[in-house]
Structure 1
């Protein structure tokens, strides 16, 4: 294909940018689809928050049940053994357990009896990463709209009435458990109960393990989401590059073709692509080349028409001018004969030109029907013989069986092809010669052959005879009797029927020309095929 050629004037005129108004480009759509999927995965933060709430609730239930178990077994345990039991439970469950007498005075504290204790941390004394962790905790709680926990505060006087849990347990007589936030936003799980002898029991633990587990899961999920997001963005850009960029190249090239800035715009064929994009690029390139060929053919046809019409018009004008100045009757009759021949030649030219110019347009929207070539040729030869054939030329046809040589096409156009081939064969045949016509099935095609006994077509001329207005006529034929469009029209019709027409040597090596027309064979399952 010819390279891009742009005039110097056009070099300074930028091509209009390809834009997508009313929507997003394909790159952003690909990126959005992949990121939305990751956003759905980010919903795991909601799950982690619900996981924390479930773990805290489970701890509250467990603490309340332990208080109830201690209340049930306390009456059967001596006071000295009870303190030892509470110290052991404190160590086992990492809880600070306090025991108050009926008057509310502290009588046992695991923190001073060798049991477990908790230590509240001042957030201001912690490193920066803990501040960042708490900020992220607060941000996630705000996003998921988590119910905030009340702050944990030690009473000024360590007496039973200073603890709200103990006051609630004394009022209801049931075990009470609550969850509050320590200053560093770690959950404080507390449980209180009133014993049978009037003593009150309080157990408090700082569940830092819940906070550590939740933060660890969030960190892992954040790492996974970050890596997935980066991978998704990279893959989206890669996918957009492999899809969008070739499409943009094709769009810009087709825009240049549409604007006509460059006569030979190079459409990228993308030969390295073996996918749908590559197939689209090659189809667009082939379509553009076919369009150029059609335009070139139209321009050439218009130039040829102008050239072919000038000769008879000039001859006609000369004859008419001479009629006005010549007084000799014989010379006037001769000039009048020339004018009549030129008018007839112009009439043939205009008729054939009109026929050639509308063939493609008519074939593009014509509905093809099954046509039995054997029956069609037989009827045409009978009609031609009834009219009489010049110079005693004989016609022979080996008719195939009915419904054998059947093609899909337009009967009127196929008649025109056969007529042009027969006219060509008869005009080149010597007096009394034989023109043989055959129609046979060859593989998946119907082969129509027309053989004559004329001078034949030299191999160098077998392609040029199908050009428009190219005419090599017999020596005994008067000039201008044919327009030179017959074989060109025949080829256009045959190619419009997805067939081909070629010139070959005769099988018997005798003198003459052989025109072979190959047309696709109509199959039995094609609509409209039935024996008469």
Structure 2
């Protein structure tokens, strides 16, 4: 039987199932679902740090821009030096070159038209261009060079040629280019300590060439300082991130593991001895999950207790008719008197009927929850149903001259959403209960009223009523307060218990109350959510 989409109960269940399926599809992590939460949290945060570590690669482009700027500066300075050399007499050129080299912080060499070295500021005693020997530097510089090489390899930076001194002017590519073409040539070299060396050559009239050489250690130093600062920041952020990740994993994973262990123990059949932690101090989703699991385990424990109690009650209720039946059957084998045999046979028939009625009610009570969960809820007119039940009962005849009166205070239909057959069973049980307790010639009054969205149906009789201390007891299984003089075993004691189960499945309530007029008798009241007639 398909669930009715109009039923509030079934609709809520359907919506929850659809939402669960949607959430399951949205949260399906095919590969990461196999990994514990702790490494997954760490991975996410470390991945973010790896993105931050990309700043090291940005430093390479930063260094490239500085080097390009310094090359442009060297080209411009080489051109100006060439123009200054041409502007002075040859005998003044050595002093001018020495002064310019001091101001530029570079080594200047001047070649004649034959590419022969005629002026060298280093030979003149100015040693402002000195390459560092990496073997004589400390371990910190060695570590920095190693890190430079690693980053250059990772980012794929082009490797500059190693700087070596040349004995001939034509051995310098910049000098050859400046002599062959009317432009300033420049080259970036790599010193032994991995610092950039920039050479620039510019020709001047007469075929001569001026070449400047500078070791730009300040560029490497600047990049290394920035890289060190970035590394310190990254290290601090990494430590804080890992600690926060471990804290987050601890606050998430540990309670989930506690809940998982408790759930496993419940699954292994130890529900009675398991205490699922409720985590009352947590107000997040894990706290909600803990309390939901705790409530679920308590409900499961209550259901298990109810099943055990129901099984014990069934055993107890069946033992009486079975014992009576066994005694009657054993007696029939020994009794020869036909009249006594007939009486024993009547006892057997009564016990068989009692067992049949008891088994039927037990079977219905045990299947009721499952059947109601699959029931199709439709609009039901309780007014028409009550009228039909009264007419059917009158047609069959009501014992002891009892009359049933339906007091419908509403002109409109009494519409509720539910399963018609089950609601009819509730009303039949209430009417049957009222008939059995009514005195001879008594009147049973059925009243229906509506208060906003609640429809109330009450059944009143003129019997002895129900003591206040027993008003909840009558709804328990196999609990029954029967009228005096009624034959034993005529009722199983499940009628009102079944009625309450059906009413609660329809989001309603059923209770025993005192009569509204204060007279003697019982009043059973059913309240159900009302629905407007369409």
Relative to the length of structure 2, the TM-score reads 0.88
Aligned residue among 179, 182, 193 for 2:191: 182
Q: Distance in 2 between matches of 1:172 and 1:498?
A: 98
Q: Distance in 1 between matches of 2:92 and 2:516?
A: 125
Q: Distance in 1 between matches of 2:413 and 2:251?
A: 51
CA contact (8 A) 1:90 1:116 kept: no
1:204 lines up with 2:225 in the alignment: no
Aligned equivalent of 1:487: 496
372-381 vs 308-317, greater mean Cα deviation: 372-381
Cα distance change on mapping 1:229 and 1:400 into 2, 3 Å: farther
385-394 vs 362-371, greater mean Cα deviation: 385-394
Aligned equivalent of 2:347: 338
Q: Distance in 2 between matches of 1:115 and 1:372?
A: 114
Aligned equivalent of 1:25: 36
Q: Distance in 2 between matches of 1:445 and 1:115?
A: 106
Report the 3-state secondary structure (helix = DSSP H, G, I; strand = E; otherwise coil) of the residue aligned with 2:50.
helix
Deviation per CA, 1:438-479: give whole Å up to 9, x if none.
Answer: 222334322222222211111111111111111110002111
Deviation per CA, 1:191-232: give whole Å up to 9, x if none.
Answer: 012212221101111111211121122112211221221122
Aligned equivalent of 1:118: 129
Q: CA deviation at 1:83?
A: 6.1
Report the 3-state secondary structure (helix = DSSP H, G, I; strand = E; otherwise coil) of the residue aligned with 2:34.
coil
Deviation per CA, 1:49-98: give whole Å up to 9, x if none.
Answer: 12212322332233224434555676556557766765565455433222
Q: CA deviation at 1:261?
A: 4.2
Cα distance change on mapping 1:85 and 1:458 into 2, 3 Å: farther
- Please, what is the CA RMSD of the aligned residues? 2.5
1:149 lines up with 2:160 in the alignment: yes
162-171 vs 370-379, greater mean Cα deviation: 162-171
Return 5+ residue gaps in structure 1 as ranges. Answer: 1-19, 525-529
Q: Distance in 2 between matches of 1:127 and 1:372?
A: 97
Q: Distance in 1 between matches of 2:425 and 2:35?
A: 54
Q: CA deviation at 1:333?
A: 2.3
Q: CA deviation at 1:400?
A: 4.8
Q: Distance in 2 between matches of 1:507 and 1:443?
A: 20
Cα distance change on mapping 1:91 and 1:494 into 2, 3 Å: farther
Cα distance change on mapping 1:32 and 1:322 into 2, 3 Å: same
Q: Distance in 1 between matches of 2:195 and 2:186?
A: 16
CA contact (8 A) 1:375 1:402 kept: no
Aligned equivalent of 2:419: 410
CA contact (8 A) 2:410 2:449 kept: no
Return 5+ residue gaps in structure 2 as ranges. Answer: 1-30
Cα distance change on mapping 1:283 and 1:409 into 2, 3 Å: same
CA contact (8 A) 2:271 2:297 kept: no
Q: Distance in 1 between matches of 2:33 and 2:517?
A: 70
Aligned equivalent of 1:280: 289
Q: Distance in 2 between matches of 1:72 and 1:459?
A: 120
Q: Distance in 2 between matches of 1:141 and 1:204?
A: 24
Q: Distance in 1 between matches of 2:86 and 2:340?
A: 154
1:48 lines up with 2:83 in the alignment: no
Relative to the length of structure 1, the TM-score reads 0.88
User: Size of the alignment, in residue pairs?
Assistant: 504
Aligned equivalent of 2:513: 504
Q: Distance in 1 between matches of 2:483 and 2:47?
A: 78
Cα distance change on mapping 1:437 and 1:272 into 2, 3 Å: same
Cα distance change on mapping 1:178 and 1:402 into 2, 3 Å: farther
Q: Distance in 1 between matches of 2:45 and 2:522?
A: 67
Deviation per CA, 1:259-286: give whole Å up to 9, x if none.
Answer: 1246321111111111111111111111
Q: Distance in 2 between matches of 1:96 and 1:501?
A: 106
496-505 vs 179-188, greater mean Cα deviation: 496-505
1:306 lines up with 2:315 in the alignment: yes
Q: Distance in 2 between matches of 1:472 and 1:464?
A: 9
Q: Distance in 2 between matches of 1:367 and 1:82?
A: 110
Aligned equivalent of 2:13: none
Alignment of 1:210-289 (within 5 A): 210-261=219-270, 263-289=272-298
